[in-house]
């Protein structure tokens, strides 16, 4: 039986996530909802039509609200044609108000980067690009199943610099047979391009991936720890601040879209397998769409929606849901944000806060909900304290 409804005094910022589910090749470590493009390619116009219909069905849930960030992820959304992306963004702008100067990010694979294409993407409103570089070592890229090599990686960043002021580079470390010197060389290569944002991920063997069933030879934990500590020092020396578990940026260059996730903001999620979170004055809901592209498009065409789960978050859900993201932020969030975004009083988390303080996992500043250095090291343990 659900507890009484919550009461929000104001609704949080609203973002839009658009999922593109196709890749040229499925990487063996990837657990995202991505599907390899077959010989016949993908039906771009049909998928865009489904996305537009999907957004239309969400409009009654967000009347009067403005979108302040858009993120087009995947998959490899840079496989879209400039005309297709232009059509999609034109429909989005016609359907829902977008904040002036909104951050609009497109994920791109270095193997599918073309100068002319990027120029057109920039002209239709993309103002931030995220490049899945992962490594500048061709042997490591091959081991990761990437379609690009080190020369493609460098060329992609150079092309991006010609058209975008804001560029993110995704890098991975603790790769199969990678040494500390090789990890340091990757980071040095990335920083040589003078980008403003970098995402640094430890390679993990996710369930239901090829690597999970066929584990590659990975560095020892001590070696991967050394890679991470070295990266922290190097990034700090180059003016990058770590603002989230895996995110680093120059001053005022944080990813606004991802910050909205971590601060328990709202987001419309459209596309195959997309997740969404929408707040109302008296409730908060989460949605999930059909994962397979063909099923998603068929349901949008035949039924007008492809939502397979529309879950009402209960008062028992909200503490963990909020803290799961907030504690990923290095500076945490203002304590008052918990009540603003959940509609619950701080007493709802007083016991886990006390336990986290006792264990030294939470910072003692009462004005912020923030992991201590020990809590950041054992983040999963800290987050789990709020599960009840």
- Confirm whether 206 is domain-assigned: yes
Residues 6+ apart with CB under 8 A from 149: 138, 141, 142
Average pLDDT, the chain: 95
Q: In terms of DSSP H, where are the helices of 59-164?
A: 82-95, 115-123, 138-143, 150-163
Determine the structural domain holding residue 385 and report its residue range: 315-388
Rounded CA gap, 64 and 330, in Å? 33
Rounded CA gap, 334 and 200, in Å? 26
**Is the pLDDT score of 17 beyond 70?**
yes
Rounded CA gap, 59 and 67, in Å? 12
Tens of pLDDT, residues 309-344 = 999 999 999 999 999 999 999 999 999 999 999 999
Give the per-residue pLDDT at 131: 96
Contact criterion met (CB below 8 Å) for 13 and 266: yes
Neighbouring-strand partners of residue 286: 277, 311
- Confirm whether 268 is domain-assigned: no
- Give the burial string for 239-275 (b: 16+ CB within 10 Å, else e): ebebbbbebbbeeebbbbbbbbbbbbbbbbbbbbbbe
Domain identity same for 249 and 380? no
Helix (H, G, I), strand (E, B) or coil at 116: helix
Backbone angles phi, psi at 95, to 5 degrees: -90, -35
Written as one string, the DSSP assignment of 45-59 is: HHHHHHHHHHHHHHG
Dihedral angle over CA of 262, 264, 268, 271, nearest 10:
40
Element (H, E) at 333: strand 333-334
Among 194, 227, 260, the domain boundary falls at 260
Among 260, 282, 300, the domain boundary falls at 260
Tens of pLDDT, residues 95-141 = 999 999 999 999 999 987 888 999 999 999 999 999 999 999 999 99
Q: Which of 299, 313, 305 is nearest to 266 (CA)?
A: 313
Whether this prediction's pTM lies above 0.85 is answered by yes
- Confirm whether 274 is domain-assigned: no
- Confirm whether 270 is domain-assigned: no
Give the per-residue pLDDT at 2: 47
**Is the pLDDT score of 4 beyond 60?**
no
Rounded CA gap, 115 and 156, in Å? 9
Domain identity same for 237 and 330? no
Domain identity same for 246 and 330? no
Q: Which of 325, 311, 370, 321 is nearest to 342 (CA)?
A: 321
- Confirm whether 145 is domain-assigned: yes
- Residue 370's alpha-carbon distances to 170, 317, 331, 344, in angstroms, are 25, 20, 6, 18
Domain identity same for 204 and 320? no
Among 221, 238, 260, the domain boundary falls at 260
Helix (H, G, I), strand (E, B) or coil at 306: coil
Q: Which of 337, 105, 334, 59 is nearest to 199 (CA)?
A: 105
Q: Which of 37, 41, 103, 104 is nearest to 75 (CA)?
A: 37
Written as one string, the DSSP assignment of 233-247 is: HHHHHTT-EEEETTE
Rounded CA gap, 175 and 182, in Å? 10
Domain identity same for 138 and 60? yes
Q: Which of 384, 243, 248 is nearest to 324 (CA)?
A: 384
Domain identity same for 233 and 366? no
Give the per-residue pLDDT at 1: 41
Tens of pLDDT, residues 73-85 = 999 999 999 999 9
Rounded CA gap, 207 and 369, in Å? 31
Domain identity same for 56 and 159? yes
Query: Tokens standing for 155?
Result: 């060329």
Cis peptide before 344 (omega within 30 of 0): no
Give the per-residue pLDDT at 5: 73
Tens of pLDDT, residues 224-257 = 999 999 999 999 999 999 999 999 999 999 999 9
Output 55 or 205, whichever has higher pLDDT: 55
Neighbouring-strand partners of residue 249: 197, 241
Domain identity same for 335 and 248? no
Rounded CA gap, 318 and 277, in Å? 12
Query: Tokens standing for 361?
Result: 């996992």
- Confirm whether 388 is domain-assigned: yes
Domain total of the chain: 2
Domain identity same for 225 and 351? no
Residue 30 sits in a domain whose CATH number is: 3.20.20.70
Domain identity same for 113 and 18? yes
Domain identity same for 92 and 227? yes
Domain identity same for 340 and 222? no
Token pair 């589910």 in the structure block, residue: 21
- Confirm whether 361 is domain-assigned: yes
Element (H, E) at 355: helix 350-358
- Confirm whether 285 is domain-assigned: no
Residue 336 sits in a domain whose CATH number is: 1.10.10.920
Contact criterion met (CB below 8 Å) for 305 and 57: yes
């Amino acid at each position: 039986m659900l507890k009484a409804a919550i009461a929000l005094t104001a609704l949080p910022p609203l973002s839009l996530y658009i999922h593109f589910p196709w890749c040229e090749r499925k990487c063996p470590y990837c657990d995202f909802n991505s599907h390899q493009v077959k010989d016949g390619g993908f039906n771009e116009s049909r998928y865009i039509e489904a996305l537009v219909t999907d957004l239309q069905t969400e409009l009654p849930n967000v009347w009067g609200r403005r979108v302040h960030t858009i993120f087009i992820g995947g998959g490899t959304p840079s496989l879209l044609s400039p005309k297709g992306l232009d059509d999609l963004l034109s429909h989005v702008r016609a359907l829902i108000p977008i904040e002036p100067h909104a951050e609009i990010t497109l994920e791109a694979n270095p193997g599918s980067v073309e100068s002319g294409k990027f120029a057109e993407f920039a002209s239709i409103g993309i103002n931030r690009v995220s490049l899945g570089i992962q490594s500048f070592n061709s042997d490591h890229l091959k081991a990761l199943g990437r379609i690009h090599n080190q020369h493609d990686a460098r060329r992609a960043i150079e092309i991006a610099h010609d058209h975008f002021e804001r560029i993110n580079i995704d890098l991975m470390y603790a790769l199969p047979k990678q040494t500390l010197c090789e990890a340091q060389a990757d980071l040095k290569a990335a920083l040589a391009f003078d980008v403003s944002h970098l995402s640094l991920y430890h390679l993990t063997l996710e369930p239901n991936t090829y690597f999970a069933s066929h584990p590659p030879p990975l560095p020892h934990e001590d070696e991967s720890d050394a890679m991470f500590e070295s990266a922290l020092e190097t990034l700090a020396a180059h003016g990058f601040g770590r603002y989230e578990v895996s995110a680093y940026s120059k001053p005022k260059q944080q990813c606004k879209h991802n910050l909205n996730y971590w601060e328990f903001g709202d987001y419309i999620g459209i596309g195959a397998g997309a997740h969404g979170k929408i707040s109302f004055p008296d409730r908060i809901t989460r949605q999930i769409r059909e994962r397979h592209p063909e099923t998603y498009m068929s349901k949008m065409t035949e039924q007008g929606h492809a939502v397979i789960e529309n879950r009402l978050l209960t008062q028992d859900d909200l503490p963990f849901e909020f803290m799961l993201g907030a504690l990923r932020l290095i500076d945490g969030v203002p304590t008052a944000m918990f009540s603003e975004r959940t509609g619950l009083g701080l007493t709802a988390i007083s016991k886990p806060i006390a336990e986290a303080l006792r264990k030294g996992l939470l910072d003692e500043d009462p004005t912020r909900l923030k992991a201590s250095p020990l809590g950041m090291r054992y983040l999963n343990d800290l987050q789990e304290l709020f599960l009840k």
